[in-house]
Amino acid sequence: MAGRVADAKLPEWKDAVQQASLKVREFTKRLQAQEASLLECIDVAYRLVLAEGVRSGIIATCQELSLWPPPPNPHVEADDCCFQDTSAPLPVIAQRAFNDEKRRDSHESFRLLYKKATTASFLVDFASEAGQALPDLQHYRTMLDEFMQRVEEWTAHSSRFHLCPLSRAGNALVIGLSQGGMAAETAKELVARRWSKNWETNVGTAVNVAAAALAVGASVAALRRASRPR
């Protein structure tokens, strides 16, 4: 019975694939023609996806460094969600990111942001695969570089993280950034360039291999998700 139902739906499936192929070709032609309105949409999508990727990277790093949930901070109000201010100490950034996460969980309008980011990620990834050069937003590069500096300061003064702290933090940050898809590739390269030298000890090399394995695993999982029928 199941086979008959599948056979009956096969023409519909082929028609859907054909229609999708036409849309893909149309979209690619518009990209190649550098259509202004489409490029503007891609730019907005890129900013949204990269912002979400950096946010995910910050949260993942805070989790790795036992700052999630962070200890109560009397200097951070419950409605202070400005985790983007990476000039603040790491515990303050963690508390603000935690406040933002709680706010998203409690308000439907913020939950819709995840759906928008998912759609935007698909658009950015498609544009990248079609050969469209993605913008290099200096703001996020500066923000990420500053965040890594806060992590370095925190781990340097915490005896809990004496065993290759930056390798663990770097691995968590890269995996978190991976949620930004193609938009976060430059950001991940920035992490690798800044922290790779800290992994050159014997112990650091071993942890780096494990980190690379996890990163590859995350990439494979992402590819599998992308290849599933929608």
Q: Where is pLDDT greater, at 99 or 171? A: 99
pLDDT of residue 54: 92
Q: Where are the alpha helices (DSSP H) in the chain?
A: 2-32, 36-64, 90-106, 108-129, 138-156, 165-177, 185-195, 202-227
- Tell me: the pLDDT tens digits for 115-125? 888 889 888 88
Is the separation of the CB atoms in 132 and 45 below 8 Å?
A: no
pTM metric for this prediction: 0.73
Among 81, 86, 103, 80, smallest CA distance to 173 is for: 86
- Tell me: the pLDDT tens digits for 70-112? 998 889 999 999 999 999 999 999 999 999 999 998 887 777 8
Q: What is the distance between the alpha carbons of residues 92 and 74, in angstroms, rounded to a whole number?
A: 10
- Tell me: the pLDDT tens digits for 45-79? 999 988 999 999 999 999 999 999 999 888 999 99
* Least confident range of 80-89, 133-142, 146-155: 133-142
